[in-house]
Structure 1
Amino acid sequence: MDRFVFAGRTCVITGAASGIGAALALHLARREALLFLVDRDAGGLARVAAQAKAAGARDVATEVVDLADGGDRLDLAAAVEARFGGTDLLINNAGVTLSGSFEQVSMDDYDWLMEINLRAVVRTTKAFLPQLLARPGAHLVNLSSLFGLVAPPRQVAYATSKFAVRGFSEALRHELAGRQVGVTVVHPGGVRTNIATSARLSGPDLDGQQAAAAKAFSEKALTMPPEEAARQIVAAVESRKPRLVISKEAKAGDLLARLIPGHYWNVIARVLPKGL
């Protein structure tokens, strides 16, 4: 496929009010894209939209949506079509996590995470696929994670969702081969977002250990600026890269999982910073 050109193309981003999503919006704005930004945080969404307009976006529209509500997203696709005529780039970026072991996590919280991290990705892709297929040279980006390559303890729900996003993206890429729609699956690791500190606490945290652990993880392990992650994602879309692993830690984890798939965590656990 030809390189993706962003100027004048319609780009839809979920989870656009903060973190990687907000950084992506600004990168694409500087490329003179048309932006349709989605998030449940109305205030953050309005702030990012204003910044994107100032940065050079040709047009910006927003939609406040809680992806946990189980909607089929056909109304979202219809709104984009009505405003911009269709979609050239869909970025499924929104994601959440839980704090606690699988034993501690309630099934209601587990289902909440799966609804946002996996089912919303599938439903949103399904809703927008006709538009992508109707625009030759369109592209789809799904955000998996380092934890879609390796599976750590105390992240059972999150790893389940991100491994599933990886499989969904790879299978869909193979299915769409030759139909002029590119698919990139992204595995970020160590990007400085608020996903850890905003993790939902499942079960009692009377002594504050779960919250403290999330804060320690965020400070010690999440160090890459989201702007750098966004830059790499934009470059991957432009060059039609099928798979992007972000950060040296994620690349090391990916290599270990392929070299010693049954024992990689024994190695990783020995080199993790104390307290993580």
Structure 2
Amino acid sequence: MKVQNKIIVVTGGGNGMGRELVLALLSKGASVAAVDINASALEETVALAGMNRANLATYTVNITDRALVESLPEQVISRFGAVDGIINNAGVIQPFVKLKDLDYAAIDRVMNVNLFGTLYMTKAFLPHLLARPEAHITNISSMGGFLPVPGQTIYGAAKAAVKLLTEGLNSELLGTNVRVTVVFPGAIGTNIAANSGVMNTLQVKGGETSFKMLAPAKAAQLILEGIENNRYRVLVGSDSRFMDAIYRLNPQRAARFILNQMSSLLPQ
């Protein structure tokens, strides 16, 4: 689905990859409803939109609140007249600890934001998308959604659920006007750790990161290319593409490779 002149909803639009998706969509001639729990972050996105801000509306919503999410489509339609697509981008990671040391409050938060937030948004907007001549649903999973990352086991479980939710939805919607894409980002240079309320777990001695981070703007570009070409799945970043290939050939070897990469960061 070409995004020009379309109305697209983006969750997590106040920061990182979500903000870059909002700005990139606006630059391509789309109208955007940016959703985020952080009102001040949304204000910053509006400021960065510059001359395109007339085509941007913001909504401060906690996507884990089903009632609030269910009221969102009518608000967007009241503002723009319709809605043609959603990008479920909002997500949080867990504290970088093993499952045995992870408390239930953190578990609930990760599952609620990453899985149920995506589910609530999809359920709320799907009837309206089915009424459009063409429409698109994009759900952001993670490289950790197909590959186990020690210290992010619950995050990975939530993102794996998003993967299968999206793939199942794609099958259910075959023959309709709604296309579906699942996205698997690798390491992206965002503030997801800080925004998740956890320390930056990708820091090692000397302040160097274990991964080569992809710029959020580049990630957004790759995602939009996938949407505009109606791709079934989009792998974002060389690390995601590499590990996808390894995992297909030998899942256990891929899991051990990631364990070796992450072992210095994982509390014993």
TM-score (norm 1): 0.89
Match of 1:261 in 2: 251
Match of 1:160 in 2: 157
Matched, 1:109 2:106: yes
What whole-Å deviation, never above 9, does each CA across 1:233-264 have from its counterpart, x for those lacking one? 11111111110001111111111211112332
Matched, 1:195 2:192: yes
What whole-Å deviation, never above 9, does each CA across 1:139-159 have from its counterpart, x for those lacking one? 010000000110111111100
Matched, 1:244 2:234: yes
Report the alpha carbon displacement of residue 212 of structure 1 after superposing the two structures with TM.
6.2
Match of 2:183 in 1: 186
Matched, 1:83 2:79: yes
Change (3 A) 1:152 1:73: same
Alignment coverage as a number of residue pairs: 262
Match of 2:125 in 1: 128
Match of 2:215 in 1: 225
SS at match of 2:64: helix
For residues 9 and 94 of structure 2, what CA distance do their matches in structure 1 show? 26
The residue identity in structure 2 corresponding to 1:139 is: H
Any conservation in 2 of the 1:37–1:49 contact (CA below 8 Å)?
Answer: no
- The unaligned stretches of length 5 or more in structure 1 are 202-210
Change (3 A) 1:14 1:222: farther
Any conservation in 2 of the 1:14–1:93 contact (CA below 8 Å)?
Answer: yes
- The unaligned stretches of length 5 or more in structure 2 are none
| CA-based RMSD | 1.9
Match of 2:46 in 1: 49
Report the alpha carbon displacement of residue 218 of structure 1 after superposing the two structures with TM.
8.4
Runs of 4+ in structure 1 deviating by more than 4 angstroms, as ranges, are none
Any conservation in 1 of the 2:149–2:258 contact (CA below 8 Å)?
Answer: no
For residues 115 and 37 of structure 1, what CA distance do their matches in structure 2 show? 20
Percent identity of paired positions between Structure 1 and Structure 2: 33
For residues 81 and 229 of structure 1, what CA distance do their matches in structure 2 show? 28
The counterpart of 1:60, out of the listed 36, 56, 61, is 56
